[in-house]
Amino acid sequence: MPAVPLQSLWSATASAGPALTALTTARRAHAVIVGAGYTGLSAALQLALAGRDVVVLDAAEVGERASGLNGGQVIPGVKHDPDTLEEMFGPQLGPALVATVAAAADLVFEVISRHGIQCDSTRTGWIQPATSESALAQLAARAQQWRRRGAAVDMLSREEIQALTGSQRYCGGLIDRRGGTVQPLAFVRGLAAALLTAGGEVFTRSPAIRLLQVANEWRIDTPEGSVTAPTVILATNAYTDRLVGALRRTIVRVPSFQVATQPLPPQLRKDILPQRQAASDTWHLLRYFRTDASGRLVLGSRGTFAATPDLRAVRHQYRAVHEIFPQLAGIPFEYHWGGWVAITRDHLPHLHEPAPGVLAGLGYNGRGVAMANMMGQLLARRVLGASAIELGFPVTPVRPIRLHALSGLGARATIQYLRMVDGWSRSRAGR
Ligand SMILES: Cc1cc2nc3c(=O)[nH]c(=O)nc-3n(C[C@H](O)[C@H](O)[C@H](O)COP(=O)(O)OP(=O)(O)OC[C@H]3O[C@@H](n4cnc5c(N)ncnc54)[C@H](O)[C@@H]3O)c2cc1C
C-alpha cells in the first residue's frame, strides 16, 4: 500500500505564530516547563500572570504535536460521569473534582476572550450522537447527572439529532452546551503569544535531554543551553520521552487520524452541522466530526499504528465519512493527518509530583483541548502552594503500568477487538 502525503488542515489555515528560536544560553527562572502544548503554555501563562519568571522548552515547534493536530473539539468533563467520580473520590474530593472538570470548557473560552485569541472559536455545544438504544440510555443518565449539578446538558430526539448533524445514522443523542470548537493550532499559537506578552519565554527546537538536581534546584539541559529553576513542570503528554522514564510508562499512546474534505457546497453546509457543533459518537472506536470556518467536514477516529498512514487507513476514514454522511459521496478529501493520544489505565488525567519541585500533568484520554488547559492551571496553582483539596484534583504518585513494554501490543489488540464489536453491532443494526 502506498503511503499518503500527510498535511494537517490546521497548519494549512492557521496564521503564523510568534517567531521563536532555540535556547543557546544558560538561564535561571522560577519555573522551567517542558512542552509547549496546551498543558505547558497554560501553566506558564498562569505563572507569568502571577509574576513568576517562566521558561518553556519544546523539542519541536509550538503546536507541532497534539495541541496543534487535534480535532479542536472543546469537550467538558472527563470520560467518567460525575456520579462515578464522586464514588471514586469520596465526599470531600469527589464533588471538588467534578467542579474542576466541569469548568474546563469554560476556562478555554475565558482564556480565548481574555487574551483576544483569534482561533475561529464556536460555542454552540458538543454533541454525542447515539449509535444504539442502549447507548442512548447511558447518555440519558449522563445528561441527568450533569443537569442535577446545574449544567446545560440536554437530550436530543432522533429528529433533533438529524437536524443538528445532517446524518440519519443516529437514534438520538446528548448536547452539552458548555462545549464547542476551536482551530486548535491557532489556539495554541495564541496561547504562546499571550505568554510572551505576559513576560514568559518560549524556546523551540530545544529538547530537554537531561534533568539534574543541583543543590535545592533543578537544571534542565538542552543541546545548546540550560535552565536552572526551583520548579520543573513536565507537560509532554503522549510525546513523553525518556527524560523521566517512569512517567512515559504511566500512559499508553494510541494514534488518532483525521481527514478533511474540500469546502462543502452551500446546500450541504446548510444540511451538515449547520450550527457548527462538535460531535463524537458512541461507538467503542468513536468517530469525531465537526466543520471548519470554510465549511469543510473534518472527521477523525482511532488511526493505524504506522507513523505514515497508508491508503488502507485513509480509506477506512473515507468509509466512516460516507457511512455517516452518504450525501458527501463524490466530495474530494484535501487533508490527512494524525497524532498520538495518551491513555491512562483509569481513564483519568493525572497530576503527579515525581520529586520535590518536579510536577507533571498528562493523560487526557482524547479530551485534552479543555482538560489540558485546566491541567496547566492546576499545575500553576500547585506551584503557587494549593493543596489537592484546594485544587479540586488528586495529586497522585507516578505508577508505571506493569508490563508497559507490551502495552502497544495490548492497545493494538484492544482496538482490533473493539472494531470487531462495533462491526457486529453495525451488521445487527443493518448499517
Ligand atoms: C489526532 C488527535 C485528535 C484529538 N482530538 C481531540 C479533540 O478533538 N478534543 C480534545 O479534547 N482532545 C483531542 N485530542 C487530545 C489533545 O490534543 C491532547 O490531549 C492535548 O493537546 C494535550 O496537550 P499537551 O500540551 O499535554 O501535549 P502536546 O500538545 O502533545 O505537547 C507536548 C509537547 O511536549 C514536547 N516534548 C516532549 N518531550 C520533550 C522534551 N524532552 N523536551 C522538550 N519538549 C518535549 C513535544 O514536542 C510537544 O510539543 C486529540 C489528539 C490527537 C493526537
Domain containing residue 61: CATH number: 3.50.50.60
What's the pLDDT score for residue 316? 87
Residue 3 has pLDDT above 90, yes or no: no
Collapsing DSSP to helix, strand or coil, 44 comes out as helix
Cross-sheet strand order for the sheet of 252-261: 153-156, 173-176, 126-129, 278-280, 288-291, 297-302, 252-261, 333-343
Cβ burial of 21 (10 Å; 0-12, 13-18, 19+) is exposed
Measured in angstroms, how far is the CA atom of residue 281 from the centroid of ligand 1?
22
Identify whether 228 is part of a domain: yes
What's the pLDDT score for residue 415? 62
Residue 6 has pLDDT above 90, yes or no: no
Identify whether 125 is part of a domain: no
Identify whether 400 is part of a domain: yes
270 DSSP β-pair partners = none
CA distance 135 to 176: 16
* Residue with the three cell numbers 535545592: 216
Quickly state the pLDDT bin for 400 (edges 50, 70, 90). Answer: confident
CA distance 241 to 145: 38
Determine the structural domain holding residue 53 and report its residue range: 9-70+185-251+346-406
CA distance 159 to 121: 27
Measured in angstroms, how far is the CA atom of residue 145 from the centroid of ligand 1?
29
Q: What DSSP string describes 188-234?
A: HHHHHHHHHHTT-EEE-S----EEEEETTEEEEE-SS-EEEESEEEE
Quickly state the pLDDT bin for 180 (edges 50, 70, 90). Answer: very high
Largest distance between two CA atoms of the chain: 67
Identify whether 374 is part of a domain: yes
Quickly state the pLDDT bin for 388 (edges 50, 70, 90). Answer: confident
What's the pLDDT score for residue 285? 83
Which mutation among 9, 33, 65, 126 tests ligand 1's pocket best, with the greatest number of atoms within 8 A of CB? 65
Grid cell listed for 217: 534546584
CA distance 252 to 365: 10
425 or 66: which leads in pLDDT: 66
CA distance 48 to 50: 5
Measured in angstroms, how far is the CA atom of residue 184 from the centroid of ligand 1?
11
Collapsing DSSP to helix, strand or coil, 26 comes out as strand
pTM: 0.95
CA-CA-CA-CA torsion sign (320, 322, 328, 331) = positive
Residue 420 has pLDDT above 90, yes or no: no
Q: Whose CA is nearest to atom 3 of ligand 1?
A: 70
Measured in angstroms, how far is the CA atom of residue 392 from the centroid of ligand 1?
23
Cβ burial of 335 (10 Å; 0-12, 13-18, 19+) is buried
For the chain, the average pLDDT equals 93
CB half-sphere exposure, 77, CA atoms < 13 A: 22
Please count the structural domains in the chain.
1
Residue 187 has pLDDT above 60, yes or no: yes
Strands 153-156 and 173-176: antiparallel
Within 10 A of 39 (CB to CB), how many other CB atoms are there? 32
Quickly state the pLDDT bin for 392 (edges 50, 70, 90). Answer: very high
> Under a CB-based contact definition with an 8 Å cutoff, are residues 340 and 353 in contact?
no
* H or E segment to which residue 334 belongs: strand 333-343
Residue 355, CA distances (Å) to 47, 135, 243, 398 in order: 20, 42, 14, 10
CA distance 292 to 272: 12
Identify whether 220 is part of a domain: yes
CA distance 126 to 147: 15
CA distance 294 to 258: 17
* Residue with the three cell numbers 443538528: 164
Collapsing DSSP to helix, strand or coil, 393 comes out as coil
Which mutation among 8, 45, 70 tests ligand 1's pocket best, with the greatest number of atoms within 8 A of CB? 70
288 CB near ligand 1 (under 6 Å)? yes
- Give mean pLDDT, residues 120-133: 98
284 or 23: which leads in pLDDT: 23
Identify whether 323 is part of a domain: no
Quickly state the pLDDT bin for 129 (edges 50, 70, 90). Answer: very high
Which segment of 66-70, 243-247, 287-291, 372-376 scores lowest on mean pLDDT?
Answer: 243-247
Identify whether 211 is part of a domain: yes
Residue 184, CA distances (Å) to 8, 69, 279 in order: 11, 7, 16
- Give mean pLDDT, residues 49-72: 98
- Give mean pLDDT, residues 376-381: 98
What's the pLDDT score for residue 24? 98
Measured in angstroms, how far is the CA atom of residue 193 from the centroid of ligand 1?
18
Identify whether 110 is part of a domain: no
Q: Where are the alpha helices (DSSP H) in 121-280?
A: 133-148, 158-165, 184-197, 245-248, 266-271
58 CB near ligand 1 (under 6 Å)? yes
Q: Name the nearest CA neighbour of 247 among 371, 351, 332.
A: 351
Q: Phi-psi bin for 46: left (phi > 0), alpha (psi -120 to 50), beta?
A: alpha
- CA 145 to mean position of chain CA atoms: 23
For the CA of 303, the closest atom of ligand 1 is 1
What's the pLDDT score for residue 418? 58
> Under a CB-based contact definition with an 8 Å cutoff, are residues 292 and 9 in contact?
yes
Residue 181, CA distances (Å) to 104, 207, 350 in order: 13, 30, 24
Which segment of 6-10, 111-115, 412-416 scores lowest on mean pLDDT?
Answer: 412-416
Q: Any idea what DSSP says for residue 306?
A: S
